[in-house]
Structure 1
Amino acid sequence: MEMETKVPVAPESSNHTDPSQQATDVDTVKLNSSSLASATFALRGQAQHYTVEGNGQAQHYTVEGNVCYRDKRRTVDLHDYTVEGIKDGEVWKMPGSVGGEQLLVQNCCNARIYVLDHINSVNMDNCTNCTVVFSAVRGSVFLRECKECVCLTACGQLRTRDCWKMNVFLLCATQPIIESSTSIHMGCYQLTYTGLEGHLQEAGLSCFNNNWSDVHDFTPVDGETNWCLLPFTVTVQDYMTVPSHRYCPVITQALSRHHTGTVPSYPVVLEPAHIDLSLAGDTSVVPYTWGPHKNPSGESCLVTLFCDSQQSQRPACLLLQTKEGLMGPADAERVFLSSSYNHFVGRGPVVGLYYDGPNCILSCQRVAVKVVVTDLTGLVYVSNSPAMARSQVDDFFRHAQLGLLC
């Protein structure tokens, strides 16, 4: 098949060739497999870029030396991934608008910024009294010189520096880190919308690997506390709101190369997006955990879900901590005190749930029976006694904390 294209051709040597014309002259040629090879050979020693158009599509190629290869890279406009200078406005980035790129947010005040897509990393600088949602971030969310903001994010790493009075609702795969920051309040991530589970997977995040409450302070001050956990009575909905209807509009700001940093005084609805956005805890993709810093009361119980590609119901007890990862046979024997589960841990990742509360073992067992009608040990393990459960919880999560459960 022949395809028409414009290929830069080096002009023949001439003592009176116009230099400007050398840079602009192009020849239109018909390309097929043989002519493409000829063009490649003729341009040996130079790097040339050209476009082949055919079948209604354009393919970008690079010729370097005697090698011709298709350029699959796409042009990235940094303005599309920058939110800057928003004052008293609202910005929405809908699914598919970021697509795993890096995002920069800076110099915003009294702004509401919702990014509902998977992101590579986020830098947020010098923002005041802003509400931000970064739904799924593969790498780090770095907050610098921000104050009086609310941040809801799932990320691989959270870092703050020179921040003050921040409320952060978090899913974090690693230990959150604060530095030179004060009045940092931590809560558990609570969010759902159509496509969130896919975005978390694309970002390499598990909803069960959440270290939101295990904060490390690089700059502690004697006699002072720079961070704390929010009370269990506090929810995300106490700090931010979303449209109450099922269709969430794309509002006020299209981030493009024409971005001016200004926001119109009226909402500009571009198109409705059916995403079922909710901050309710009972529908959240990420389970609400109280955190390991809560003093346990009553019984403890370890519930382990083996890989079966199914979801399970949650017992009506306090869920303190979760962890998902792979286990080896030796790990299973140490935790479960039996070799009966060695086969099941080889199926894939297991999920550990740490519950606490009066009669929680019985409650968990009842739910497990409803989930697994036939072979209980093939899918779910529940502690058998309070005495055994305490050591099992310690072994499982200590193993996970050391990174041996990965």
Structure 2
Amino acid sequence: MEFDISWILLGLPLAFALGWLASRFDARQMRAYNRSAPKAYFKGLNFLLNEQQDKAIDAFIEAVQNDPDTSELHFALGNLFRRRGEYNRAVRVHEHLLSRGDLNRTDRNRAQHALALDFLKAGLLDRAEDALRRLEGTSYEAEARLALLAIYERSRDWKQASEIAQRMQAAGQGDFSARLAHYLCEQGDVQATNGQLEQAQVAYQQALQLAPGAARAHIDLARLQHRMGQHQQAWSTLQALAHNSPSALPLAAALLPDIAKALGNMQEIQRWLEDQYRQTPSLDLLQALVTLDADSGQADAPGRERYIQHLGKEPSLVAATRWLASETLHDEQHHPSIQRALEHASKPLTRYRCAACGFEARQHFWHCPGCQSWDSYPARRVEEL
């Protein structure tokens, strides 16, 4: 059978015509697409870069309406709502994404994580907890556990916090032994307040086993032992504190005179405390020594002269104010007003300051109430920093 070349000649114009029609159709589709979502998307992006968030939101809403199946536009819109504090609208956007049956697993996990952040920012901790729990086994698992840990610490649910911290440590997300020791001490504090002294003692001892260098566990245990009449054990615990965490000893200094009186060995504890003070001078250690001097009843006790010796080492308005409190002035009638002025000026210097956020407080905190950081308060007061 002979091949007729005329069929090729007839087919070429037909193929050209079909190709031209297809290209025209694609061009129309591209123009229609550019007129809808991408144009609005880039307009919204431009507004966002120019910090015009209201106009950016309007542009993204227009883009979503033109192309409701585009998940990226929903994520951009939801994040914008969250940044503006419009948490209800952000929640609706991310819940709409989760309700879509065509969403792939990666985008579904991303939407679940975004929804959890919406609830966190809105302060809806119970709903945030539920949303974060759903992220177990996903690529957002580590972030979700950190957020859950923050929720449990904020709500003071120390058992749940311990469970999450243990799982994070087992997963290799870091060493949480010091934080777990804090959780045990928190539980021990509650038990001690409720009169459950034996249970509290067990909690503090478990904290020490978990983190032998934990200053708080030593201090809380020594305070409880002294309260339970175990004065010798309390003295041994404070000696262990000085060995493991000498910088934290000032936080327990006020306890030492009471323990010394209970044991009847003031001179031994005084000599030990003087050695600690020589190594690291501190206002709290100084005050404990002055108290021991007063309690000793010895005629030649240094007493308030220690303030003068301290001033020779370090300039201190607090020490000068305390020394002046019982001094006799030439114009004694002016003493009360001068003393009040000095106490007013030195009062802010006796506070403790968080090294992470700068939050100041009259008492020492292990968990900063400002930034929620652990162990961010130095044991020394503002004047000594």
User: TM-score, length-normalised on structure 1?
Assistant: 0.30
| Larger CA Rg, structure 1 vs 2 | 2
User: TM-score, length-normalised on structure 2?
Assistant: 0.31
Which has the larger share of helix?
2
Which structure's relative contact order is higher, taking Cα pairs within 8 Å and 6+ residues apart?
A: 1
